[in-house]
Amino acid sequence: MKIGFVGKGGSGKTTIASLFIKYLAYSNQPVIAIDSDINQHLGESVGFTRDEIESIPPLGTQIELLSSIYKGTNPRLQNTIQFKRTTPPGTGSTLIKYSEEHAVLKSFEIQKNGIRLLRVGIPQDETLGEQCYHANMSGAEIYLNHLIDKENEYVVVDLTAGIDTLASGMFVSYDIIYIVVEPTAKSLSVFNDYIRIAKSTNIEAMIYPIANKITTQEELEYIEKNIDQKPIAVFPLSSYIRKTERGEYISFGEIEKETRTELEKIHTHIQTHTKNWEKFYKNLLYFHNKKASKEKHLQLQDQIDPEFNMLAFL
């Protein structure tokens, strides 16, 4: 299952995403963690050192290499220049199964304590002022759109703050998106904007709230009233979180019972969902067609293979 965590900056989305990743690893669940936020703090939050993180190449700087891998022998793509971030898989495309060993792709990740980490990276000096951060995120988008994962195989992504993933259409790469909200008007505004814009695409996206930094019942009621639904999980202020954010190493086994219970709720909620590859592929085509309609000179619609079936790769 591909799970994205998003929210207003400062809401605690990276914190909750990292806690859930550590929960999965501690529970012996297979987990891939992808840092797709421009601030790039996820790796350290789940236990990797800065040197370890920088030892792997960022996905965002290797778009041409990724394109050449996933293009495979797809006859609709003559070269990597034609491969766009929205380009859907087709006959001959390379799709990689979650547990499959791919010599080149393996070099993009590092493993530790049951966690496989990849990173999008930050803009490089040579691209500053020339492209937005969406160009970096497209590396993760291409990776996710060609990854064959099962319901008990987890990919957890820390996304950029706010509604950036909606602007790029990247939100369709996920089975579930959790929006972390805190009891403030600005945080809840981000949630409501995200839901409103997602609905305007007519895409059936699985988007749910998670409440964070809750100290009173009144704060929880304030959230529920302003988003008109109950959060999937409610995280109180946590001494474990405060200590880890100060750089202290504390075993996940020492986390407070209250916090762990909320992580279990997220896990249980995910398990009520099933993979829907037909919907996944249909959603990919939706945004590729939108791009094709705006860039007709690229003939992007010719990249769509009407006979392709992702279910054949399961």
The segments of the chain whose pLDDT lies below 50 read 126-133
d(CA 173, CA 154): 13
pLDDT, tens only, 20-68 = 999 999 999 999 999 998 888 899 999 999 999 999 999 988 999 999 9
- Is the whole model's pTM more than 0.85, yes or no? yes
Residue 127: the pLDDT is: 47
Region of 169 on the Ramachandran plot (φ > 0 left; ψ -120 to 50 alpha; else beta): left
Residue 59: the pLDDT is: 93
Largest Cα span, the chain? 59
Residue 38: the pLDDT is: 82
List of domains in the chain:
2-313 (3.40.50.300)
- Whether the Cβ atoms of residue 203 and residue 279 lie closer than 8 Å to each other: no
Residue 168: the pLDDT is: 61
Q: Is the dihedral of CA 283, 286, 292, 294 positive or negative?
A: negative
Residue 167: the pLDDT is: 62
pLDDT, tens only, 91-114 = 999 999 999 989 899 999 999 999
Residue 135: the pLDDT is: 65
Alpha-carbon distances, residue 206 vs 32, 174, 178, 250, 292 (angstroms): 20, 8, 8, 33, 25
Residue 131: the pLDDT is: 47
d(CA 32, CA 1): 10
- Whether the Cβ atoms of residue 20 and residue 235 lie closer than 8 Å to each other: no
